[in-house]
Amino acid sequence: MKGKICSGAALLSGSILVGACGGVVDRGESEGESGVQASAHRARVPKAKIERLRVEGDPFLHRTGHQVVAVKDDIFVLRGVEDDIATQTNTFRDDLFRLDPKRHRRVRMTERRERSASPPSTAFHCTVGDDRRGGSLLSFGGAHFLFQGDPAFFQSFAVFDTLWRYRVSDERWQAIEPVGARPTPRAGCNAEFYRGSMYMFGGLSRVFALNNELWRFDTSTERWTQLTPSGPVPEARFIGATTVDDDGGDIYLFNGHRSTSIGFQTIGDFWVYHVATNRFRQLPSIPAAARDEGTLSILRAPGGKKYVVHTAGHTASSVLCTGFAERTTAIDEIWAFDLSTEIWQKLDVVGHAPRIEFVRGATVDNQHYLIGGWADVPDPVNTCRQEWSEDVYRLSLVNP
C-alpha cells in the first residue's frame, strides 16, 4: 500500500521555505509563516551539543546492524556484525552489553551474562526496551549471511522469526511461543515499545521481498496482532529509523530502503503513526539530500519544546564501495523537526559531530547516545576505507 499526504506546514531551507509537497514558496508569501515569523523561528531553534565520551570497562568490538535500546536508566547494545570491507568478511557478534550513562565524561560498558538459551548471532533484528517491573528486552527476527561480495551471499542469507525476551534482573533469555498468528521471518524491521506493546513495521524476507506490515505484540496476552491502519500506509521498506513520543503515543518512521530492479534505493520519506487512532500520516521530510542509516530521537530543548532529531547517517556518493551496491558518503549533519510547527531545521553544533553511518542510538534523561557504526572514506582507487567508531557520543539540545 502507498499513500501521500501533504502537510500545510512549510519547510525552512536557507532563505526560502520549501512546501511539504515540494513546492518553493517565497518567505514573504508563505502560508505557513511570514518572513518575519520565519526569522523568529530560526532564532528560537536550539543548537545540538555533541560530547565524545570515554568508554571504560569491557572491550566493545566493531559492529553494524546492532540494536541499541534504553531500559530504565541503562542502555543495552545487542548483537550485530563486523562487515569488514578490507577482508571482505562478516563476523557476527553474539554478545550483549550494558552501558551506564550516568557519569559526566565517561561511560562504562559491561558485557552481560546470558543464561540459558539465547538469540543467535544476527544483525538487523528488531529490539525494544520495556521499563516495567525489573526491565526487559524484546527482540524479534534478524539475519545471518556471508559478506555481500561473496558469490554465495544470496544462498547464505537466513532470516529468523523467533521472539526473545531478556529479563535484566536475572540475565536470562526466554524464547516466547505466541499463540495464533505471528509475523513471518524478517530482518531490517523497525520497532518501538509503547504502553505494554511492541509495534513493528516492515522488514526483508529470505528472498529479499519487502513488506509494509504493522504488527503489535501485547506483552500481557503474549499474542501478535497484525494491524490494519485506516488511510494511507508507508510503502514497504527495511532499515528505517524510528522513535516514539510516549506522551502522545506517536511513533515516527523516517526513511528506509525500497527494492528496485537495480538494487535497493533510499526512500527519503517521513511518517507518524498515532497509536490511539491506528492511522499513519505523512510528514514533511528533511529538505536536503535523502539520508539513511542515522538515528532518530525525541529530545526536549531548554524550555521544554520537543523535537524529533535525526543524527548522522549517509547520503548518495559517486564512489562505489568495494563489495557494496550502495554509493554512499557518511555525513555529520543533525536536523531537528519541530513537533509544533512541523518544520525541519539543520542545527548548529556545539562540539564535534562525528561522520558516522550504520550507527544506532538510545535516549536516557533527554540525552541521546550514539554507539557503533563506521564512516566510509573514499580513496583514489574507487574503494572505501572504513573508519570504525570506537567512541560513544552524547547528543543534547542547548540554547542557541
pLDDT in tens, 37-84: 455 555 589 999 999 998 899 999 999 999 999 999 999 999 999 998
Residue 7 and residue 314: Cα distance in Å, rounded? 26
105 and 221 inside one domain: yes
Residues 13 and 55 in one domain: no
Based on the fold, state whether residues 202 and 166 are members of the same structural domain: yes
| CATH number of the domain that residue 121 is part of | 2.120.10.80
Q: Note the pLDDT tens digit of each residue in 237-270.
A: 999 999 999 999 999 999 999 988 878 889 999 9
pLDDT tens-digit readout, 315-356:
877 666 654 544 667 889 999 999 999 999 999 999 999 999
pLDDT value of residue 289: 86
Q: Are residues 99 and 33 in the same domain?
A: no
Look up the domain containing 2 and give its range. Answer: 1-44
Do 73 and 38 lie in one domain? The reply is no
- Residue 186, Cβ density class (10 Å: 0-12 exposed, 13-18 middle, ≥19 buried): buried
89 and 152 co-located in one domain: yes
The closest alpha carbon to 392, from 136, 47, 68, 46, belongs to: 68
Among 11, 29, 44, the domain boundary falls at 44
Query: Which residue(s) pair with 106 in the sheet?
Result: 54
* Phi/psi of residue 58, nearest 5 degrees: -75, 150
Cα distance from N-terminal residue to C-terminal residue, the chain: 41
Looking at the fold, whether 13 and 50 belong to one and the same domain comes out as: no
Same-domain check for residues 190 and 213 = yes
31, 52 in Cβ contact below 8 A? no
Same domain, yes or no: 60 and 78: yes
Q: Answer yes or no: is pLDDT of 22 > 60.
A: no
Sign of the Cα pseudo-torsion (183, 185, 190, 192, in order): positive
pLDDT given for residue 9 in this prediction: 33
Q: Are residues 320 and 381 in the same domain?
A: yes
Percent of the chain with pLDDT over 70: 84
Write the DSSP symbol of residue 357: B
**In the predicted model, what is the mean pLDDT of residues 140-153?**
94
Q: Are 248 and 192 in contact (CB under 8 A)?
A: no
pLDDT surpasses 80 at 34 = no
**Domain count along the chain:** 2
70 and 4 co-located in one domain: no
Provide the pLDDT for residue 20: 38
Let me know: does 287 contact 232? Beta carbons within 8 Å.
Answer: no
* 242 and 339 together in one domain: yes
Q: In what order do the strands lie in the sheet with 334-338?
A: 295-300, 306-311, 334-338, 343-346
pLDDT computed for residue 33 by the predictor:
46
